[in-house]
Amino acid sequence: MKFFVDSADVAEIRDLVDTGLVDGVTTNPSLVAKAGRDFFAVLREICALVAGPVSAEVTATAADAMIAEGRKLAAVAPNVTVKVPLTWDGLKACRALSQAGTAVNVTLCFSPAQAILAAKAGATFVSPFVGRLDDIGHDGMALIRDIVTIYRNYPGTIATEVLVASVRHPMHVVDAAKIGAQVCTIPPAVLRQLAKHVLTDKGLDAFLADWKKTGQSIVAG
Ligand code: E4P
């Protein structure tokens, strides 16, 4: 499973990229607003940090304007993936941009029917939002299961990857991996949480305390 960082915070992204565990980045207009910096400057910096896909979202709502914005975003760096919303116009823009060779992430997907349309429109990625479905009492992971099942039924025709978005906790990542989704975009705090286990900390403390009693040093030994 590929890990993308869901953030527009360049310092945070740099820190995580240094681990070698990051395959890409997703941003959205809310994350850019939170970063409080110029969008194009942020996008250029992220694209230079990460070799993999970096999603940058259009803000127009009409297909022609989305295509124009998408072209401008794609010109920033070869690893930009243009993000369009799952609207009728977004699907038209997806089709046009992907036919021109631009990678497209169709975002704000909340149903299997929408995911079928994204695949038919030639999306590189479809982004189903699990957390926002859970928030309103739906089963976000059931949507991932449905989309993965549907896409697997058409191995020769559907190349769209399922990019699990709106991730709130480590179990979203684990469950998405069990289902076989190709990508998870993960907020920095959740990505760090993945490494944490109380028994790891407790076990390490005990090992180090016992080692100290030996009086030995691996470097000096
Ligand atoms: C995906 O690309 C979105 O940026 C993101 O996952 C949305 O998550 P949220 O529901 O926590 O805002």
Percent of the chain with pLDDT over 90: 100
What residue's CA is closest to ligand 1, atom 10? Answer: 166
Question: Quick one: which atom of ligand 1 is closest to the CA of 4?
Answer: 2
Ligand 1 close to Cβ of residue 166 (< 6 A): yes
CATH 3.90.190.10, applies to 2-196: no
For the chain, the helix, strand and coil percentages under 3-state DSSP, each to the nearest 5 = 50, 15, 35
Please report, for the chain, the start and end positions of each structural domain, with discontinuous segments joined by +: 2-196
CA angle 137, 28, 157 (to 5 degrees): 80
What is the 8-class DSSP label of residue 169?
S
Indicate if 83 belongs to the active site: yes
Separation of CA 150 and ligand 1 centre (Å): 23
Question: What is the chain's pLDDT, residue by residue, as a tens digit (221 residues)?
Answer: 999 999 999 999 999 999 999 999 999 999 999 999 999 999 999 999 999 999 999 999 999 999 999 999 999 999 999 999 999 999 999 999 999 999 999 999 999 999 999 999 999 999 999 999 999 999 999 999 999 999 999 999 999 999 999 999 999 999 999 999 999 999 999 999 999 999 999 999 999 999 999 999 999 98
Catalytic residue among 34, 83, 212, 213: 83
Cβ of 7 less than 6 Å from ligand 1? no
Q: Residue 43: which residues within 8 A CB-CB, separation 6 or more?
A: 27, 54, 56, 73, 76, 77, 80
Residue with tokens 């289902």: 179
